[in-house]
Amino acid sequence: MDASISSQARQPGGTAGAAAASCAAVLVAAPASGQGKTTVAAALARLHARQGRRVRAFKCGPDFLDPHWLALASGAPVHSLDLWMTGEADCRARLHAAAAESDLLVIEGVMGLFDGDPSAADLAQRFGLPVLAVVDAHAMAGTFGALAFGLQNFRDGLPWAGVLANRVGSERHGQMLKDALRDPSQWLGALPRDARFTLPERHLGLVAATELGDALARLDAAADVLADTPLGRMPVGDLPQVRFDTSLSEDEPQAVPPLLAGRTVAIARDAAFSFIYPANLDVLTALGARLSFFSPLAGDALPACDAVWLPGGYPELHAQALSACTALRESLAVHAAAGKPVWAECGGMMALFDELDLQEGEQVHRLWGLLPGRVTMQKRLSGLGPQQLSIGGHLLRGHTFHYSSCETPLAPAARTARPGATQAVGARAGEALYVHGPVRASYFHAWFASSPQATARLFGAMPIELESHAAFDQA
């Protein structure tokens, strides 16, 4: 491993600044999804956290599920890093703040190392984050060396930490994998196939750690095995040290105006509505809002509030329970009838339609009826990728990821667009934004920090002022 890698060196023309912080850091990546990045990243964070070290974990790209595991492992909130959605200045500021108070930063990549635009490799090069490659080697021998070599050398100047084999069958298998490397010093060890630390999955990704009674035991089992590898035995001081310098950014995050001062935002939060970025809560607080959480699944009443946020999640897994929330359904109707805003995001929007069809008309549940129409679950992805929405002249960035579709007589008030897309005729349509009285709803997941001003409009601080996207409706 390189003893010291400076993020300043990755910035052409950068000069040293006073506001710098150094910390051990690695970016856990892989050649593809499903290789075990979350298991390794969480095990590494858990191993050092339970030894008393201060660990902060981050997740590359849009993701609500992997951060549950990383937060459990590290004992600290997990923020997203994405050079487009969150922006370079936001990434730099979060890394710098974490490095200033931590012994180790663990950043989990997204998809394969070079997949996406921007990719995990882009983030690694921008901030000098050494890549720890995780490779599922269960059906592999000599090719492991070729794959590791390709990941390290595909792009010039990529910071590199080494490679760890996952789902290895035996000690002899592990030795074959190590022998396949051109440089044996790149070997960071092997994790076996072991049901004790398998992280279960479902249609949107990993099952959230909060849903499993043995989640911490799974992480401890993985950390125990990792402790016997070269990576696990390495003192934190011998891990690559990365310097984060906020003075290098030309576009620092701006102060957030208190546009929601004096307002209370009620936020649904439970297993059905769990897709909440901690940074989004921070933005609402910075805007001056008071946050009041409630659980529909627990039968909570709607708190006294000026606005409601129904985040995404898994309403389809709890449709029967949500259908039975008659008191909440009625209080939401009263809230909307009073002209108070509701922002409903993906799963939150699904809960607001008249009906949710789970199985081709054979399993239909009545839901909360603030939006006319029906949501139908599908076996294939209906939407995936980065999206942006213009509100009142301010651009709100985010993403979409869902397995359902909706049928409604409502016409979209606007549509999201992919990064760099225009309203030219023939452009691919983005996600619909429905406005029905004070209800604003979309499959679009918003990253509030990308535009606090647009966020404040969603929660009623001022008229929403959506831009027309008629061209998208025609596409």
Q: In a 3-state reduction of DSSP, which class is residue 15?
A: coil
- The catalytic position among 60, 91, 305, 346 is 346
Give catalytic status of residue 346 as yes or no: yes
- Maximum separation of any 2 CA atoms in the chain, in Å: 70
Contacts within 8 Å (CB) and 24+ apart, 138-145? 138/166, 138/167, 138/168, 138/169, 138/193, 140/177, 141/173, 141/176, 141/177, 141/180, 142/176, 142/180, 143/180, 144/177, 144/180, 144/181, 145/177, 145/180, 145/181, 145/182
- 60 near 164, Cβ under 8 Å? no
- So what's the pLDDT on residue 250? 55
- So what's the pLDDT on residue 378? 84
Tell me the average confidence (pLDDT) per consecutive run of 10 residues in the chain, 475 residues long. 36 44 96 94 97 97 91 96 94 95 97 94 97 96 96 96 96 96 95 78 64 84 95 93 77 78 97 95 97 97 97 94 96 97 96 89 88 90 84 92 90 90 52 95 96 94 64 31
Domain 264-474 falls under CATH 3.40.50.880: yes
Q: Where are the domains of the chain?
A: 4-248, 264-474
Q: Report d(CA 132, CA 186) in Å as an integer.
A: 10
Short-list 289, 311, 31, 69, CA closest to 163: 31
With both helix axes pointing from N to C terminus, report the angle between 66-74 and 215-226 in degrees, rounded to the nearest 10.
Answer: 70
Q: What is the CA radius of gyration of the chain?
A: 23
Q: Which two tokens stand for residue 110?
A: 């997204």
Taking the CB of residue 3, how many other CB atoms lie within 10 A of it? 9
Q: Report d(CA 117, CA 209) in Å as an integer.
A: 28
CATH domain 4-248 topology: Rossmann fold (3.40.50)
Q: Regarding beta strands 445-446 and 439-442, do their DSSP bridges make them parallel or antiparallel, or are they unpaired?
A: unpaired
For the four alpha carbons of 174, 177, 181 and 186, in that order, the dihedral sign comes to: negative
* Whole-prediction pTM: 0.88
